[in-house]
Amino acid sequence: MKALINLVEKVKPNFEKGGRLEKFHRTFEAFETFLYVKGDVTKSGAHIRDAMDMKRTMVHVIIALIPPLLFGIWNVGFQHYRATGEEVAFIDQVLFGLIHVLPIIIVSYASGLAVEFIFASARDHEVNEGFLVSGMLIPLVIPVTTPLWMVALATIFAVIIGKEVFGGTGMNILNPALLARAFLFFAYPSYLSGEVWIETTLQEGQQLVDGFSGATALAVQAAGEGNMPSDFDMFFGFIPGSIGETSTLAILLGAIVLIATGIGSLRIMASVFVGGIFMGLVFNLFAVNDFMALPAYKHLIMGGFAFGAVYMATDPVSASQTGAGKYIYGFLIGVITVLIRVVNPAYPEGMMLAILFMNVFAPLIDHYIVQANVKKRIKRMEKVRLQTQA
Amino acid sequence: MSENNSAPKETLFSPRNKKLLSEPIGTSNPITVQVLGICSVLAVTVQLRASLVLAIAVVAVMGSANVIISLLRHGIPPRIRIIVQLTVIASLVILVDQVLKAFVYDVSRQLSVFVGLIITNCIIMGRLEAFALQNKVWPSFLDGVGNAAGYGSILILLAAIREFFGSGTLMGYQMIPNFVYDIGYVDNGFMILPPMALITVGIIIWIHRHRDRSLVDVS
């Protein structure tokens, strides 16, 4: 620890004004504050002092992402060996998963951070920490079969168009990780339509088991054919899907971390689930086709519903800010997700589009909530005034 | 009308007239600076060939419409000037449409309703209102051609970008060699969709303003 501080102090003069590497002082600052909380504090004005600065907040979200990540890594291996029909040890499954998931994570971080650092230097502002979370979310919401160059392209697109053009971290109106996924979804639909989402590059001597399809539960449901996984498998996540989205259980573990640390909004998470159930039940009333008749609770454990509700919808920047607004925002995400899934056969998954759609509406919801509150208070004041006059 | 008859006779390509032609292509570009005529830009720029034809059509319509309105400028009663302008543009568009149908039928099919929609292109009406009604024939012609060229240049640039990245072709000819596809490259389907056209226009505007700081709106 001490040695690290000494090292930082030793190289610091190079980056200060007049130093050899002055141009990179933003980069240096980013790494310095990543290692240690800065010594200098704000001295004037009223401030809330809190150890949870942006970096610590982001680190907590990363911690909350660990359960789905670890499960996802194992599941990639598990699905692969299930497809080839081979019986292998647990450790082999994890290794296979690591080999395929780690490159995606590295590419996502490398390309995203490169853009962040370039913009920070060009605009001379601090390197923001927002990408620490986006860089982890992007690999978790895409299938493991996505080529690496696509991951890099989508990440660069999302960071520039989703965030930097609006002014950087905290200014974005859309969730950058979902924007990356939306980019991939529309640019390379054949890779993201949920048809084959298991890594099936075969080595010599391997072959796929008979009847293997590799389609996700939602794709199976939309097509109306194929093997539907059991509820048990879908809840625990032994199903094909995007890397981090399959296990509802692991996601709920992460949700506990987010709620306990006060980062994720329980209101949003709960109302997304309620909205999904509600719309599912409405469709059950009509039930003119198989998808409409699907039990409402199944929507919550299929596809990316739980992942979106816990990690994406609760993004504090792009979500609704007001208390009552959060209920409306979350509820509508749930409703629209199920609506897209059931009604639009072209989009098997509705979570991504529903959240992006509601991201756009979040400021409008907030506006009306605030205006309603202002009106209520004016009315109350009027009443008090009339009483005092009487 | 505000023209000054006592002004000394100008040469055909005096600095002022040159400016009429060059300004709309750069610093007062109808699309990237005035942000007009966006709908057709988003809709027809999937392929370079169609955009090229539309750009030429708009240059023809706008140049002639400006000339005609400028010739008629003393005879048009102000109260019905919009109707007169529309009639002139509509007649010209019908002519262009017939020519396209006769000589490049497939492109005409591809452009479909957007040839007819040249009538409602706000750039044309805007120039007639703002320029041709008050100026002599030759400057009006230059202004019309300049603005149409400014519109067309962005149209063609955008179409080239979208066709290259979206389908790997230019003017219908394959541009990205097969070995690139063999190593895993895939055409970007998002480029073909209108939202990406809007984003690309945004990026062009961004670059334009980055290079020309006087365009940055600081209000």
Q: State the greatest distance between any 2 C-alpha atoms of chain B, in Å, as a whole number.
A: 70
Min CA distance, B44 vs chain A (Å)?
19
CB-CB: which of B184, B189, B196 is closest to A189? B189
Interface of B with A in 177-216 (CB under 8 A): 184-186, 188-191, 193, 195-196, 199, 202, 206
Please judge whether B199 and A161 are an interchain contact, meaning their C-beta atoms are less than 8 angstroms apart.
yes
pLDDT digits (tens, 9 = 90+) for A91-148: 888 998 898 899 999 999 999 989 988 888 887 777 777 788 889 999 999 888 888 9
Cβ–Cβ under 8 Å, residues B110 and B50: yes
What lies within 8 Å, CB to CB, of A243 at 6+ separation is: A69, A72, A73, A75, A76, A101, A104, A139, A140, A141, A142, A143, A144
Sole residue written with tokens 């007639």: B128
Q: Which amino acid is at B52?
A: L
Q: Provide the pLDDT confidence category of residue A166 given band limits of 50, 70 and 90.
A: confident
Residues of A in contact with B196 (CB under 8 A): 186
CB-CB: which of A147, A186, A189 is closest to B184? A147
Give residue limits of the domains in chain A: 19-36+54-264, 265-390
Tokens in use for B75? 């005879």
Cβ–Cβ under 8 Å, residues A307 and A68: yes
Q: For residue A38, what pLDDT is reported? A: 63
Residues of B in contact with A191 (CB under 8 A): 186
Please judge whether B190 and A183 are an interchain contact, meaning their C-beta atoms are less than 8 angstroms apart.
yes
Residue A6 has pLDDT above 90, yes or no: no
Give residue limits of the domains in chain B: 29-159
CA–CA dist A185, A179 (Å, integer) = 9
Tokens in use for A292? 């409409």
Residues of A in contact with B195 (CB under 8 A): 186
Q: DSSP states of A43-56 as a string?
A: -SS-----S--HHH
For residue A316, how many other CB atoms are within 10 A of its CB? 13
Q: Among A210, A233, A306, A299, which Cα is nearest to A78's?
A: A233
Backbone angles phi, psi at B173, to 5 degrees: -95, 135
CB-CB: which of A147, A165, A187 is closest to B188? A187
Q: Provide the pLDDT confidence category of residue B99 given band limits of 50, 70 and 90.
A: very high
> What percent of chain B has pLDDT above 70?
95
Residues of B in contact with A154 (CB under 8 A): none
CA–CA dist A337, A334 (Å, integer) = 5
Tokens in use for A300? 């919550």
CB-CB: which of B184, B189, B202 is closest to A187? B189
pLDDT digits (tens, 9 = 90+) for A18-32: 667 776 777 777 777
**Helical ranges in chain A per DSSP H:** 2-15, 25-35, 54-84, 90-123, 130-140, 148-157, 176-187, 189-192, 217-223, 231-236, 248-260, 266-286, 290-293, 296-301, 305-307, 323-343, 351-389
Cβ–Cβ under 8 Å, residues B144 and B152: no
Please judge whether A188 and B191 are an interchain contact, meaning their C-beta atoms are less than 8 angstroms apart.
no
CA–CA dist B169, B178 (Å, integer) = 12
Cβ–Cβ under 8 Å, residues A185 and A204: no
Q: Which whole number is the average pLDDT over A354-380? A: 94
Min CA distance, B134 vs chain A (Å)?
40
> What percent of chain A has pLDDT above 90?
35
Q: For residue B1, what pLDDT is reported? A: 41
E strands present in chain B? 169-170, 173-174
The neighbouring-strand residues paired with B170 are B173
Residue A212 has pLDDT above 60, yes or no: no
Q: Provide the pLDDT confidence category of residue A36 given band limits of 50, 70 and 90.
A: low
Residues of A in contact with B189 (CB under 8 A): 186-189
- DSSP class of residue B132 equals I
CA–CA dist A305, A299 (Å, integer) = 7
Please judge whether A165 and B206 are an interchain contact, meaning their C-beta atoms are less than 8 angstroms apart.
yes
Whole-model pTM? 0.84
Residues of A in contact with B202 (CB under 8 A): 165
How would you classify the pairing of strands B173-174 and B169-170?
antiparallel
Residues of A with CB under 8 A from a CB of B: 147, 149-150, 161, 165, 183, 186-191
Please judge whether A186 and B199 are an interchain contact, meaning their C-beta atoms are less than 8 angstroms apart.
no
Please judge whether A149 and B184 are an interchain contact, meaning their C-beta atoms are less than 8 angstroms apart.
yes
Among A19-33, A95-109, A374-388, B104-118, the minimum mean pLDDT is found in A19-33
Cβ–Cβ under 8 Å, residues A273 and A281: no
Tokens in use for B107? 């492109």
Closest chain A CA to residue B199: A161
Please judge whether B202 and A165 are an interchain contact, meaning their C-beta atoms are less than 8 angstroms apart.
yes
Please judge whether A187 and B184 are an interchain contact, meaning their C-beta atoms are less than 8 angstroms apart.
no
Residue A368 has pLDDT above 90, yes or no: yes
Q: For residue B6, what pLDDT is reported? A: 47
Tokens in use for A85? 């029909």
Q: For residue A34, what pLDDT is reported? A: 67
Q: Which amino acid is at B184?
A: G
Among A185-194, A357-366, B9-18, the minimum mean pLDDT is found in B9-18
CB-CB: which of A149, A165, A187 is closest to B190? A187
Q: For residue A253, what pLDDT is reported? A: 92
The dihedral built from the CA positions of residue A188, A193, A196 and A200, taken in this order, carries a sign that is positive
Q: Which whole number is the average pLDDT over A303-321? A: 89
Residues of B in contact with A147 (CB under 8 A): 184, 186
pLDDT digits (tens, 9 = 90+) for B184-216: 888 888 888 888 999 999 999 888 888 888 877
Q: Which of A160, A186, A192 to mutate to test the interface with B (most CBs of B within 10 A)?
A: A186
Cβ-Cβ contacts under 8 Å between A and B: the total is 24
Please judge whether B191 and A187 are an interchain contact, meaning their C-beta atoms are less than 8 angstroms apart.
yes
Residues of B in contact with A161 (CB under 8 A): 199
pLDDT digits (tens, 9 = 90+) for B123-178: 888 888 888 888 889 999 999 999 999 999 999 999 999 999 988 888 888 888 88
Closest chain A CA to residue B190: A187
Q: For residue A27, what pLDDT is reported? A: 72
CB-CB: which of B189, B195, B199 is closest to A188? B189
Q: Which amino acid is at B145?
A: V
Q: Among B93, B198, B29, which Cα is nearest to A161's?
A: B198
